[in-house]
Amino acid sequence: MENPTKERTLVVIKPDGIQRILVGEIISRYERVGLKLVGIKMVVPTKKFIEEHYTLEPEWRRITGEKNIKAYKDKGMEHPINDPYKITEIILEKLKKYMTSGPVIAMIWEGAHAVAIVRKITGGTEPLTSDVGTIRGDYVLDSYKLSDDDYRAVRNLVHASGSVKEAGLEIAHWFRKDEIMPYRHVQEQILYDINLDGETD
């Protein structure tokens, strides 16, 4: 098994995150928890690249469709479409427009439990119900209802890999090996070294 302190995850600041002037704010949220930035680039993705990105994990279509049906149910509403695959097909079309509408910033963050820690800091998919204190909970106010009514993707500022498997596939999709920078941070000693002796004279 990989060294758990070396786990990596992909974060993409979506076009609305850049337009809302939140790049520094978003990066600082991941930085301050102790994660290490090992890759970063700004690009305007193509529609093909975005479709590939969201379908790297074969289960994504089913899981995302079911998550949407449940989100409506939890609010006492019924989703207008009850086939999870049909729902995701529409979401994918909307995502291709959203994610190619301007530059995005792709990043690789590394550290202990990077995937789960980044998801926690990022917050749930729908800003209406994302926890306060998370990026999606604190900086944006969209909902499934609003985005459905306007026939567009939910604007939630950032993408973050949903699992370790997804992270591995996504990092390979967005970054070449030579674009990833392995290096040692001074703070790794206080985060990960077994002994903290030698801190006083």
Contact positions toward ligand ADP, by CB under 6 A? Answer: 64, 67-68, 91, 94-95, 125, 144, 147, 153-154, 156, 159, 162
Residue 95 interacts, among ligand ADP, Mg ion, none and using kind-specific CB cut-offs from 5 to 8 Å, with ligand ADP
For Mg ion, which residue has the nearest CB? 162
Which residue in 162, 168, 171, 174 binds Mg ion (CB under 5 A)?
162
- C-beta closer to ligand ADP: residue 151 or 190: 151
DSSP the chain: ---GGG-EEEEEE-HHHHHTT-HHHHHHHHHHTT-EEEEEEEE---HHHHHHHHTSSTTHHHHHHHHHHHHHHHTT---S---HHHHHHHHHHHHHHHHTSS-EEEEEEESTTHHHHHHHHH--SSTTTSPTTSHHHHS----HHHHHHTTS----SEEE-SSHHHHHHHHHHH--GGG------TTHHHHH-S--TTS--
Which amino acid is it at 137? G
Least distance in angstroms from the C-beta of 82 to ligand ADP: 13
Give the nearest distance from C-beta 192 to ligand ADP in angstroms. Answer: 28
| Residue 163 touches which member of Mg ion, ligand ADP, none, C-beta under 5-8 Å by kind | none
135 binds, among Mg ion, ligand ADP, none (CB under 5 to 8 A by kind): none
Does residue 65 belong to the site contacting Mg ion (CB under 5 A)?
A: no
Does 45 interact with Mg ion (rule: CB under 5 A)?
no
Q: State the residues that interact with Mg ion by CB under 5 A.
A: 162
